[in-house]
Amino acid sequence: MSPNRDGAALVIAIDGPAASGKGTLAKRLALHYGLPHLDTGLLYRAVALTLIDADADLDDAGAAARAAADLSAERLSDPRLRERAMGEAASRVSSVPEVRAALLSWQRRFADGPDGAVLDGRDIGTVVCPAARVKLFIVAAPEERARRRHRELLGRGEEATLAAILADIRARDARDSSRAAAPLKVAEDAVVLDTTELDADAAFAEAVAIVERLRSR
């Protein structure tokens, strides 16, 4: 399907908490509309991994800002970025205003392609792409999100208890929603999609219907 059937670029901004299903939806929507996709969470994970590899403190704002300023696209292909521990580490560095500022232009350049793009993260609709034609905010109950993440980790051969994952998700939600720089929140013109009771195919069908409705306005 052509992303710009009406002659305008289509930017789809997808936000939501960890394990809500936004990443899966973003990838499928990007494929469906023939658009490039960016998981912006990988940027923050890459910054955190840079600090870890350098034996630097994750709470060292200066070191984190320098890592963000020097971040290259090649760094996003490191398989370690998908490990569970990197999610917690990314949440910590993402609270640093200088890190967010350094990565903001990176994300906006990606979204500024001729056809548009699909970006998912925590502040895409509110900060990165506030003028996006389509904004989705994906939610799910914390318990369901923990079950999904647990299945994902087990599938990759990683060991983790459901209780520990749920505690991690709740801690990340609190940190992401209360941080001073670009907190996780629903954009005023975003459509909230609750995936708690939806499987991947049903969530995708709902998302496509929302995208078509919003882009036709």
Please give the annotated binding residues for ATP, written as ranges. 16-24
Please give the annotated binding residues, written as ranges. 16-24
SS3 string, the chain, reads CCCCCCCCCEEEEEECCCCCCHHHHHHHHHHHHCCCEEECHHHHHHHHHHHHHCCCCCCCHHHHHHHHHCCCHHHHHCHHHHCHHHHHHHHHHCCCHHHHHHHHHHHHHHHCCCCEEEEEECCHHHHHCCCCCEEEEEECCHHHHHHHHHHHHHHCCCCCCHHHHHHHHHHHHHHHHHCCCCCCCCCCCCEEEECCCCCHHHHHHHHHHHHHHHHCC
